[in-house]
């Protein structure tokens, strides 16, 4: 194609239109993107500074999501503490209510009465000869040298030998018998008295001497065993809701008979050395009902226990509240982190991790709070309830202290969250100041360029007409 020759005026106008078109393109791009710096070519310093600011703002924005989760985690723990505190206070009210009820007992009811039993006596032999003195010689009482007196107590034999009757005395004889197995001897009011050690023994005197000379014979003497007074009728004992048990007194003669009959009962029954009968219920919740117990000093009718059913109900309510505390502590989690179940939390505040806050979790179930489940029937005792009240008081103190700690940490996290939001805004604003276009300015520029373009077009038209006139002249 042949080259087109343009006049100087035309070429000048053409260059002006091209320049205006370029500036219009730049201005339109700024208006469409809103940026006056779109690449490093526009302004390297502003572009890279803004890019760095925006990158940091982006990093901090991503951290804000984590910080937001941390805020909710701490709030969940704080909400849990508030709820657990209310449950602990309810447990306090339950324990306090139990204290206002009459105390019960965890000891089985025991009744004591005096049995109708004759006293036991030991076997005793009193010599029929009186007026003896300890200094009397045995030969004066008819003893000869070598003669003996024997004392047999339930098969154990003690022998005294008058080796030299002329010098041996009544005191020597008493001393010899006094060393007997199972018995003793003494000179009482001028008569020799031999007594067994037990109320079940028998004593038999004998020997080669004329024992009648000191008032004894060979008749066996037995102890008096305890006898139950002659009674008729039936002793009835009812242990709680068990069927009534009876003892037919017509067949009871001795203490041993009565002990055997009592041992067969559901209740624990015994007779002590003072002939007091004791009857103890098989369970501490059981009443004991007695009929025909007058002869034994027992109170007829229902002998009620001190077990308090209201306290037992409140004890169950208390233990149920502790179960609810355990369950609530396990549910106070957010996003898999539970600060009331021993989990810990680390909150990072800046992009390189050099600024952070660590929160140590706690275990705030009933066991972690130091509150123990009440053992069976523990609330029957005021002392046990008071100990529980002390545990609950300590738990309240721990909850309040930890609530304060979580509240302080939550304030720090929220302050850092707000700071980070503001910092992100500052960074983005700074980047925008470097790169954003002034829409009003660019709009004015575009309008000016459009006017310039129109003027340039008009000028070019005029230049073209001038060229045509010149050509006509030639």
Convert the pLDDT of each residue in 263-289 to its tens digit. Answer: 998 899 988 877 788 999 998 889 999
Residue 1 pLDDT level (bands cut at 50, 70, 90): very low
Range(s) for CATH 1.20.1330.10 in the chain? 61-104+310-424
The pLDDT of residue 95 is 96
- What's residue 156's pLDDT? 85
Instruction: Read off the tokens for 61.
Output: 């924005």
Rounded alpha-carbon distances, angstroms, from residue 102 to 95, 97, 99, 381: 13, 11, 7, 9
Mean pLDDT of 208-224: 77
Q: What is the mean pLDDT of residues 295-320?
A: 91
Query: What mean pLDDT is predicted for residues 191-209?
Result: 83
Q: Hey, what CATH class is 61-104+310-424 in?
A: mainly alpha
**b/e per residue, 253-275, with b = 16+ CB within 10 A?**
eebeebeebbeebbbebebeeeb
For the cut 90, the answer to whether the pLDDT of residue 88 exceeds it is yes
The model's pLDDT over 243-255, given as tens digits with 9 standing for 90+, comes to 999 988 887 877 7
Spell out where 267-374 has E strands. Answer: 268-271, 276-280, 288-291, 301-303, 345-348, 356-359
Pairwise CA distance, residues 88 & 107, whole Å: 30
pLDDT band at 319 (very low <50, low <70, confident <90, very high): very high
Q: Which of 206, 203, 169, 174 is nearest to 187 (CA)?
A: 174
CA-CA distance, 460 to 7, in Å (whole number)?
Answer: 11
What is the pLDDT, as a whole number, of residue 375? 92
pLDDT at 469 over 70: no
Report the relative pairing of strands 245-248 and 288-291 from DSSP bridges.
unpaired
Residue given tokens 């501490």 in the structure block:
284
Q: What is the pLDDT of residue 48?
A: 78
Kindly state the percentage of the chain with pLDDT values over 90: 32
Q: What is the mean pLDDT of residues 78-99?
A: 95
Average pLDDT over residues 307-327: 95
pLDDT class of 17 with cuts at 50, 70, 90: low
pLDDT for residue 281: 92
For residues 31-42, average pLDDT:
65
For the ranges 122-131, 328-337, 429-438, the one whose mean pLDDT is highest: 328-337
The full DSSP string for 383-405 is: HHHHHHHHHHHHHHHHHHHHHHH
- Give the range among 7-11, 126-130, 206-210, 243-247 with minimum mean pLDDT: 7-11
Question: Given a cut of 60, is residue 109 above it in pLDDT?
Answer: yes
CA dihedral 187, 191, 194, 200 (to 10 degrees): -130
Q: What is the pLDDT of residues 127-186, one digit of tens each?
A: 888 888 989 998 988 888 998 888 888 888 888 898 898 999 999 988 888 876 778 888
pTM above 0.75, yes or no: no
Q: How distant is the alpha carbon of residue 465 from its chain centre? A: 108
**Least confident range of 143-147, 220-224, 326-330:** 220-224
| pLDDT of the residue at 451 | 72
Q: What tens digit of pLDDT does each residue of 410-464 get?
A: 999 999 999 988 988 888 777 766 665 556 665 676 676 667 667 666 766 666 6
pLDDT class of 40 with cuts at 50, 70, 90:
low
More confident residue, 81 or 225: 81
pLDDT in tens, 346-360: 999 888 888 889 999
Find the range with the poorest average confidence among 63-77, 188-202, 356-370: 188-202
Chain mean pLDDT for the chain: 83
> In the prediction, which pLDDT does 74 show?
94
Return the H-helix or E-strand segment holding 327.
helix 309-331
């Amino acid at each position: 194609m042949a080259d087109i020759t343009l006049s100087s005026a035309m070429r000048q106008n053409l260059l002006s239109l091209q320049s205006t078109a370029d500036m219009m393109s730049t201005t339109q791009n700024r208006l469409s993107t809103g940026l006056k710096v779109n690449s490093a070519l526009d302004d390297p310093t502003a572009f890279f500074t803004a890019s760095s600011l925006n990158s940091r703002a982006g990093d901090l924005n991503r951290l804000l999501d984590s910080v937001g989760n941390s805020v909710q985690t701490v709030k969940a723990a704080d909400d849990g503490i508030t709820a657990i505190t209310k449950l602990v206070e309810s447990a306090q009210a339950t324990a306090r209510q139990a204290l206002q009820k009459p105390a019960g007992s965890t000891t089985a009811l025991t009744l004591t009465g005096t049995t109708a039993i004759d006293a036991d006596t030991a076997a005793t032999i009193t010599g029929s000869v009186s007026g003896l003195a300890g200094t009397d010689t045995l030969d004066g009482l008819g003893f000869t040298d070598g003669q003996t007196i024997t004392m047999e107590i339930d098969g154990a034999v003690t022998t005294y030998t008058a080796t030299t009757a002329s010098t041996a005395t009544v005191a020597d004889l008493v001393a010899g018998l006094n060393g007997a197995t199972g018995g003793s001897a003494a000179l009482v009011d001028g008569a020799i008295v031999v007594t067994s050690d037990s109320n079940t023994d028998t004593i038999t005197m004998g020997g080669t001497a004329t024992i009648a000379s000191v008032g004894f014979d060979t008749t066996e003497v037995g102890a008096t065993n305890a006898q139950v007074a002659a009674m008729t009728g039936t002793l009835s004992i009812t242990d709680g809701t068990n069927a009534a048990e009876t003892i037919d007194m017509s067949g009871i003669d001795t203490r041993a008979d009565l002990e055997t009959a009592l041992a067969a009962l559901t209740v624990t029954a015994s007779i002590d050395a003072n002939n007091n009968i004791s009857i103890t219920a098989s369970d501490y919740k059981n009443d004991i009902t007695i009929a025909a117990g007058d002869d034994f000093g027992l109170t007829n009718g229902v002998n009620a226990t001190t077990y308090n059913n209201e306290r037992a109900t409140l004890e169950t309510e208390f233990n149920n509240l502790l179960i609810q505390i355990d369950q609530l502590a396990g549910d106070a989690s957010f996003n898999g982190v539970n600060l009331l179940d021993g989990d810990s939390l680390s909150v990072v505040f800046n992009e390189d991790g050099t600024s952070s806050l660590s929160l140590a979790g706690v275990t705030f179930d009933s066991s972690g709070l130091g509150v123990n489940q009440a053992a069976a029937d523990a609330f029957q005792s005021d002392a046990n309830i008071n100990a529980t009240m002390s545990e609950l008081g300590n738990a309240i103190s721990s909850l309040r202290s930890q609530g304060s700690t979580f509240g302080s940490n939550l304030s720090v996290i929220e302050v850092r969250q707000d700071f980070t939001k503001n910092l992100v805004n500052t960074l983005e604003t700074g980047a925008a100041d470097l790169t954003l276009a002034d829409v009003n300015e660019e709009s004015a520029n575009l309008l000016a360029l459009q006017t310039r373009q129109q003027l340039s077009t008009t000028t070019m038209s005029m230049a073209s007409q001038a060229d045509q006139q010149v050509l006509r002249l030639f």
